[in-house]
Structure formats: structure tokens, C-alpha cells
Amino acid sequence: MFKNSINSLFLIALSGFCSSIISERAFAGGRSEPWQMWFQDAASPVMEKIIEFHNLIFVVEISIVVFVLCLMGYIILRFNAKANPEPSKTTHHTLLEVVWTAVPLLVLVVVALPSMKLLYYADKVVESEMTIKVTGNQWYWTYAYPDHGEIQFDSYMIEDKDLKEGQPRSLSVDNPVVLPSRTNIRLLFTSADVIHNWAVPSLGLKLDTVPGRINESWVHINKEGDYYGMCSELCGVRHGFMPVHIKAVPKKEFSAWVEKAKAQFSNISSGSETKVANLEKPFDKAATGILKDRKRK
Amino acid sequence: MMGTDRMLKILQRQNRNTLTAFFLFGIVLGMAGLAFSSAPLYKLFCQVTGFGGTPKTNVVRKAISKSAGVINVRFDANTNSDLPWVFKPEKQKVLVSLGEPKLAFYFAKNVGAKPVTGTASYNITPFKVAKYFSKIDCFCFVRQTLEPGKRIPMPVEFIVDPEILEDPDTAEVKTITVSYTFFPVVQNDRKKS
Amino acid sequence: MRVGQGVAMGNNHEVHPSGWRRWLYSTNHKDIGTMYIVLSLIAAILGGSMSGIIRLELMFPELQFIQDLQFYNVMVTGHAFLMVFFVVMPAMFGGFGNWFVPLMIGAPDMAFPRMNNISFWLLAAALILLLLSAFVQGGAGTGWTVYPPLSNADYHPGPAVDFGILSLHVAGASSILGAINFIVTILNMRAPGMTIHRMPLFVWSILVTAFLLLLAIPVLAGGLTMLLTDRNFGTTFFEVAGGGDPILWQHLFWFFGHPEVYIIIIPGFGIISQVISTFSKKPVFGYLGMAYAMVFIGVVGFVVWAHHMYTVGLDADSRAYFVGATLIIAVPTGVKIFSWLATMWGGSIEFPAPMMFACGFIFLFVVGGVTGVALANSGMDLAWHDTYFVVAHFHYVMAIAAVLAIFSGYYYWIGKMSGRQYPEKLAKIHFWLFFAGVNILFFPQHFLGMAGMPRRIPDYPDSYAGWNLVSSVGAFVAGIATLLFFFIIWKTFSSGGKVQSNQWGPGATTLEWTVDSPAPFHTHEELPVTNSHMPAE
């Protein structure tokens, strides 16, 4: 197993380096690339703002680290016992102490103001054209479209052996959540069991799904494409195996999909009736909670 | 050799040490007490401030004036998988005049074979409007027991304070979502499963 | 038989129990300190092996050798618990604290020697309970955060989580007793002339840490008790179904958890201050600023907890407050870093192993510090929450930084504790190997986090393979360095030369350097009189 992995790793590494050499990258398609060191490409206004803000604080971070390192390097060279046999006795310098308290404060103000702007921007409530509801389950997501009839379906990860050509491993799901691009969408989050977290890095989305309450966010997907994410709150045995796959399509295509979905998911479309169908099961859930994993395999 | 003076001093110090230790232990007890009282305090805090989208429940009706504004209110329903109920809102959303009490309905049906008692948790989003959203009467205040096959309407009466438009934070909000989740009432013997 | 009193009073100093009685019944601060250090070494082997298992699993994409995924979560959880409660805290607070606080303030022993004994053995019991928790019925795979509902009886039905909770209760009781003991000792038992503003910074750091423990642990204990009754006695503090709220647990946990990270790192500040001052042959620059920076960090540490919960669904105003409060912490930490550099400035600096570790500490702490400032921003958490960026951040700023501080303190004081010289050349190799290892291990995790890889997952999308491999290689380098450290310990005790009472020369000005090496069983029976910051000079 290790050997296989090493082989594939070399290929991955090679292709990664090549693609990074070939001039500017094409849009990465809503997921990370081999050897990636930076954010995934932004595909929503919030993520664009996050990257913009990060560009600022990154400069601050690097300057501080470089400054301290240079200072320390200089001190080590200049004041080592060989270079400076007689130590000074200075233990105070009021002005200096005031300066190194005040300057960081100023830097923090420089960071805090745009930070607040970003915070409130991501939190604002936009006029949304439609709503989807995300429900976290151990270990899959349920998506509902309350504005489009009663479409509701579960989204499970595709096991490695069932993957088809072009489906990224451990990110692909059987039923991706289809959303219209260039549309303001309201997102509601809740959970049916433990706390999960629905996250899509390229869209700047990350919010807990908490049982017994809803959380709300919004998204505006700039371009069509596939966007991937993973559960981001430890939720039990298969926490690493409940990916998010958003398929963003033009509005027209979305309407067509809605019609199809109504038919496709009609047998389970009645929402909570689904749960009624497997009513006998839930009661032994407690006992088998952590063993579910094996059952699914 | 050790003089009695020094013995005395050490004894005094032992007393002082014990006193300090008791004082510190008092701090420990105090913090533990705070931790235990956090459960009711947190609930109270949420209700008073609307923290986490907790709507107001103890509204004084006359304090709210009418207004020309309207707002969308959406209804969301969840059922815990341990509860054999079908629980849904009558309508997905309604348009509400600000400052006017509004009555809306959910329906719940027991599709299981046994009578079951359920209880609901609730919150509203966006969180920041919770302080302007008041529930006057709601099924969520009481436990509901449903016989098998029985379907009952569950009314919610609420009112949205027109001041929501005055507050620059919340003026942008055009849609409020109200969400309920029904759980089976936790039995002390649930450990049997 | 008032053994404890006898020791504290300083009579019958020729007689002390020998054999197993000396350790089991010990009321001597040095023996208890030694036992804490030994316990932390044992826990380090366990916790380190767990991180080795994690890195082996993550070395390549796809599941490598772990088929039972619960086992992976148990490793993640166990690694955190062990490292936090049974490695770092016992080494610095229990170990170095017990050894050197009485020595540094000129006290004959701790204020309550027998309580000291109880503290230690409670911790040993807690360690056993924790191991039980990992090995019964699938173990506790909840993460060290133990968030309900995942940790409640529906999702972790076996006794594993209960054992974990009990373990933390017992460890917490141990810490509270220890904290009370340290506070009383430091407040009441300083030698004549050792005013509070003349105490060495290590003593200050232990004092601040003790107060943090005193205020934070009871809150954890309260939360844990509620969780325990939720699990076993049908209460519903954290269960929505019964009118509780799982988010309340997160508030309680992080009200404890954030001060806890300062409990881990602040004694490290103290050690680094002593080491830097000693080897620069200068008193600490800006002593008062240094002391009160720690106090300030401790106080503010109690009002920033929800920055661990930005994505749980908090309203924007609360988050804005927590962003502001968190950013403020950068100021006192900045003061500390600049004061360390200013202490070195103008000094005549020697670079034996402890000083190298101290310089390494500053580097790691600065890197982890600036990523902390970045993470404090709620907006950035939309990208970084629960990713490897967070893992890289906290390992840099508190975990590995704390370990470097422990190594620094170990080499600094082992001569005083054992009377023997550690092998300098090997210790320097240890530093370079370990320093390189942890940087190769944790720096690439920043990249993984930037690219969006979540924490606590046993398998990952193939695109994350490259940096994960690098990271795992770093883990092996760090692992080899740690084995070398154990070899160095053996070498020190088997063939280390004898050392003087003050092995570090004119820079070592604190009272522990005035007593013989190894420090005799009873010290400071005649209280030393102090009239400056540098009593030993």
C-alpha cells in the first residue's frame, strides 16, 4: 500500500510542479491543487474580501517575523561573548518600553478596522432569491429546497472503489447540491444529530450545523463550476468522509434541474415522511452510534 | 539551636498559610458555583438579549406601535429522528405587517404506534433581529402529547416590532426565519436503549 | 508523626525515609518535583507515540493502516489530553515549579508539603484513568474539546468518555491543590528581603499560572460534572431535547480552555526569562513590564474565549468584541519578546544548549504569535476555522514553544537537580535536530490549512498529499531528536561530570545557584537575606 502511494505521490508532485510552472493557473475548479501553499481561488464576494484582507495582514505578519529575526540575528552576531566580552548593565529604557507598547497597538488598529469591515460584510443580510437548507447527519448531508416544491435529498461520499473518471477522491458525492450561479442564496443550517460544520473554502463558507437551532448565511457564486469542501467539526467516526460538493450552474439550467429533481426525489420528497419510513431504526441508533461506520462498508 | 521565638514565628506562619489557603479555596468554590449557575444564567441572558436568535416571549403589547412596513417571515420545521412525528408549517412564508400580531400554524402528526410526548426548541435568524421579534403565544411553551395517528394544528402568535426599521443594523433585513425542532421528551430511562 | 511539619521546620534533616517510602510518602518539594518530571517523561512517550501514529496515517492519502476510524479519533483525543495535562503542565508547573520556586524565594519547602504529595499522586491516578478511557469500549473519540452531543450518551455510549471526564476531574483537583500550594508559598514564605518585586520572573510566572488554574479549573469541573450527569443521570444541561444547549458547553469549555493555553505557556515565559538573563550575563530588561505583562495576559485570557467559536453561530457584535479583545493580547506578548531581545542586547551572550533552546523558543513563539493575530480575526476564521492552519498555529505558539521551554529548563537546571553535567555536544545536536524536525513538521501545515484541509481527519483529498508527506518526515526527525534526548538523560546520569554550585557563572543570579549541586535534601534552613534582584550575586 505504501509503495503504491509513493508512486502516485511522485506523479502528483510532478504534475503539481509542472502546472505551477506553466504560467498562470487556470481557475482551479473549487478545490485545492497538489503542493498548494495559498488559498483556493475565490468564487464568491466574501472569499474575495477574505483574500483581500489577508493580503494586508500577511504583510504585517511577515514584517514582524522578519524584523524580529533580523534583530535576533544581529544581536547574536554583535553581542555574543566573543564579540562583546563586557556585558552592559542597562535594565530600563522608559521611552523604548513605551514605543514597543504603542507601536504594536497602532499595528493592531490597522488590522482591526478592515477586520471589522470584513466581519460585518460577511454577516450582512442580502436580499436572497432562494433558500436552501443544509442538515448535517452522521455522516452525510441532507439538502432541502423549500422554495422549489419539496426537493430534499441526501448526499453521501462516493467510496474510493466506486469513483468514476474525473471524480476527485474523498470529495465526490452521489448527489451534489445544485445551485444557480450569480444568484443570492440564503443558506440555513441545522443538524439532525451532533454538531457538524458545512464548509466550502473557495466560497468563504463555514458555519456549524447545531441540533435544535438554525444558523443562517448567504452565498453568491460568481461562476459556474464545481466547488468542494469537507465537514469541519469533529462529528464522530466518519467525520473525514462527508464532503460537500456544490455544482453551480446557470439559472436556466438550474430551473431544468429543479424539474428533474422534483421527479427524481419525489418518492422521498415529503420531507419528514422520509424519516418516518425508517422509524424502526432510530431507536437502536444510540447503541450502534459509533459502530455505524462498519455497517456502511 | 532553634529558639522558641522562631518556633512561634513558624507556627504563626502556619496559621497564616492555612488562612490564605482557605481564602483561595473559597475562590475555587465561587468559580465552581458560577459554572453551575451558568446554565440558568445563560438561558436568561439569551432571553433578555436575543443572543443566539432567542426571540422575546414576555412582550408588553401596548409598547409596540403599528407601522406601515412589512416583512417576510419564513417557517422552518425539523423533527428529531427519534420522534415519529410529521411536523410541518402550514405555509412556507407569510408577509407580516410590522407591529401587528400575526397567527401562523404548524401541523404535527404522530405516525408512530404509541403515544409520544414531544417538546420543541426554537430560534430565529438572522440573530440580530431576535430582539425585535416577540412571541405572544406558542405551542413551544408546553409539552405536547400526541396519540397515534392524531394530527393537530399548532398555532404561533407573534409580532415584529417596527423599530426593526429604525435600527441601522437590522434595517437591511427583509426576511426572518422562524425555526422549530421537535424532540421526544427526554425520559430518565432512555439509557435502556 | 508530623513528617511534613518536620521537614518544613527544618529539624531532623539527616533523617529521611529511603527506598519506595521516600517517594510514595514524599513531602519534599525536590523529590515531588522529580516525580512530576518523571511522570511527564512517561506521558511524553505515550503522547508522542500517538502523534507518531497520526503522522504515519497521514503520511499518504487513503487509509494506511488504521481501519478502525474510532481508533484514529481516540489517538487525536489522547494525544491532546496527554500533552496538555500530563506532559507540559507536570513538567513546568509541577516539576520545575516544585523544584525551583522554594529554592528561588528562599523557602525551606512548599507551604503544605503533604498536600503537595496528594497533588502528585492524584495526577498519577488521573493518568491511569485517562489510559483506561482510551482502552475501554472503543475509547473517547471526541477531541479534547469533548463537545456534546458527540460526547453524550447517545453518540459515545460506553464508559470511555466517563473515564475521560473522571480523569480530568482528578487531574483538575490535583492542579487546584497544587495552585493553592504555590500561591500560599509564594505569598507567605519568601525569605526576608525577597519582596514581591524582587522575585525571579520564573516565580512570577508560576504565581500567575497558579491563579489561572485556580479560576479556570473549577469552571471546567463544573462543566464536566454537568456533562457527566447528562450522560448518566438524565439531566439535560447540554441537550436541546430537554431545554439545554450544547453551545453552553462550548462557552464553559473555552472559558477554561483559553486560560489553559496560557497555563501551558506562561511558565515557559518564566524559564526563558531566567535562561536569557543568565546567558546574556545581564539582569532581565524591563523587569516590571515583564512581570505585569504576564499578569495582563492572564487577566485578558479570561475574556477572549469565544474566539474559538467564531463559526458556531454567534452574532456579529459579539464576535467583533472577541476580535478586539483577542488582538489586545498581542501587546503584552510583544512586550515580552522585545524585552527578551533587549535583555540580550548589550549582553555578553554564551550559547550552551539551554540558550539555544531559548532562542529557538523566541522564533517559534513569534511565528505562532503572528498567525495568532491573523486567526483572531473572525473574518479569517471563515477560511481557517478547524483547518490545519489552526493546528500549525497552536503547535508553534504553545505546544512546541512550551516543549522548547521545557528542554531549555531541563538543560539549565539538570546540573542543579542531579549534580551532573549533561553532554553539551549531544545537547546541541539535540537542539538542531529537534528544531529542524518541528519546523519541517509544522510549517507545511500552514500551507495545508491555507488550501483548506480540515483537522482531525484520517484521510484527505489527494491534492494535500505533498505537504502531508513533508510534515510526516518532519515528525520522524523530531521523533529521533526526542529519542536522542532520552539518550542524553541516560548519558548525564551514567557518565556526566560533577558540577559546581553555580555552573553558569556571573549571569546566574537567582538563589538556587547558592546551594550545592545536586541541591541537598533540605535547603534554605537558614533563611537567606535578600536585598536586590540578584540575591546570588
Q: What domains can you pick out in chain A, each with its CATH number?
A: 2-85+93-123 (1.10.287.90), 130-268 (2.60.40.420)
pLDDT at A155 over 50: yes
> What's the rounded mean pLDDT across residues C471-495?
97
The set of residues, in sequence order, having a beta carbon less than 8 Å from that of B25 and lying 6+ positions away, is C180
Using a pLDDT cut of 90, give the percent of chain A over it: 73
What pLDDT sits at residue B64? 62
> What's the rounded mean pLDDT across residues C69-81?
95
The set of residues, in sequence order, having a beta carbon less than 8 Å from that of B43 and lying 6+ positions away, is C245
For residue B75, being part of any structural domain is answered with yes
Q: How far is CA C430 from CA A235, A261, C55, C284, C352, in A?
A: 39, 62, 21, 27, 12
Global confidence as pTM: 0.91
Displacement of CA C76 from its chain's centroid (Å): 18
Q: How far is CA C424 from CA C415, C417, C497, C507, in A?
A: 12, 17, 11, 18
What pLDDT sits at residue A139? 92
For residue B78, being part of any structural domain is answered with yes
Q: Nearest C-alpha of chain B: how many angstroms from C149?
A: 13
For residue B166, being part of any structural domain is answered with yes
Number of domains in chain B: 1
Q: What are phi and psi of B175, to 5 degrees?
A: -140, 130
pLDDT tier at C284, thresholds 50, 70, 90: very high
What pLDDT sits at residue C211? 97
Active site residues of C: 79, 109, 144, 174-175, 258, 260, 262, 273, 307-308, 333, 336, 455
Which of C357, C349, C504 has its CA nearest to residue C421? C504
Beta sheet of A215-220, edge-to-edge order: A151-155, A140-145, A130-137, A184-191, A215-220
pLDDT tier at C537, thresholds 50, 70, 90: low
Of A222-226, B57-61, C439-443, the least confident: B57-61
What pLDDT sits at residue C130? 96
If DSSP codes are grouped into helix, strand and coil, which group holds residue A164?
Answer: coil
pLDDT at A234 over 60: yes
Nearest to A231 among C241, C362, C454 (CB): C454
Output the nine-digit C-alpha cell for C98: 516544585
Q: Nearest C-alpha of chain A: how many angstroms from B13?
A: 35
pLDDT tier at B60, thresholds 50, 70, 90: low
Output the nine-digit C-alpha cell for B112: 408512530
If DSSP codes are grouped into helix, strand and coil, which group holds residue C532?
Answer: coil
What range defines the domain where residue B124 resides? 53-184
> What's the rounded mean pLDDT across residues C60-83?
93
pLDDT tier at B2, thresholds 50, 70, 90: low
For residue B102, being part of any structural domain is answered with yes
Higher pLDDT among residues B68 and C525, named by residue:
C525
Of A3-17, C121-135, C277-291, C381-395, the least confident: A3-17
Mean pLDDT taken over chain C: 93
Q: Identify all chain C residues contacting B43, using CB atoms and an 8 Å cutoff.
A: 245
CA-CA distance, A32 to B69, in Å (whole number)? 46
> What's the rounded mean pLDDT across residues A23-37?
72
In eight-state DSSP terms, residue B129 is G
Q: Identify all chain A residues contacting C320, using CB atoms and an 8 Å cutoff.
A: 116, 119-120
Which of C361, C356, C347, C362 has its CA nearest to residue C277? C347
Q: Which chains lie within 8 Å of chain C at 3 or more CB pairs, if any? A: A, B
What pLDDT sits at residue C355? 97
What pLDDT sits at residue C167? 97
| Contact (Cβ atoms closer than 8 angstroms) between residue A254 and residue A38 | no
Nearest CA in chain C to A61: C370
CA-CA distance, B180 to B155, in Å (whole number)? 12
Higher pLDDT among residues A283 and C514, named by residue:
C514
For residue B146, being part of any structural domain is answered with yes
CA-CA distance, A41 to C452, in Å (whole number)? 11
CA dihedral C455, A234, C250, B51 (to 10 degrees): 100
pLDDT at C332 over 50: yes
CA dihedral C125, C128, C133, C139 (to 10 degrees): 160
- Number of Cβ within 10 Å of residue A85's Cβ equals 9
pLDDT tier at C217, thresholds 50, 70, 90: very high
Helices within C29-146 (DSSP H only): 29-58, 69-81, 89, 97-105, 113-135
Nearest to C315 among B31, B128, B184 (CB): B128
pLDDT tier at C234, thresholds 50, 70, 90: confident
CA-CA distance, B6 to C355, in Å (whole number)? 41
For residue B159, being part of any structural domain is answered with yes
CA-CA distance, A164 to A161, in Å (whole number)? 9
Q: A131: which strand partners?
A: A186
pLDDT tier at A179, thresholds 50, 70, 90: very high
If 0-12 CB within 10 Å is exposed, 13-18 middle and 19+ buried, where does residue B149 land? exposed
Give the domain CATH number at B130: 2.60.370.10
Using a pLDDT cut of 70, give the percent of chain B over it: 89
pLDDT at C159 over 80: yes
Q: Identify all chain A residues contacting C460, using CB atoms and an 8 Å cutoff.
A: 170, 240
What pLDDT sits at residue C509? 92
Helices within C281-400 (DSSP H only): 287-300, 316-328, 330-344, 353-375, 378-384, 388-394
pLDDT tier at C16, thresholds 50, 70, 90: confident
- Are C218 and B32 a contacting pair at CB < 8 A? yes
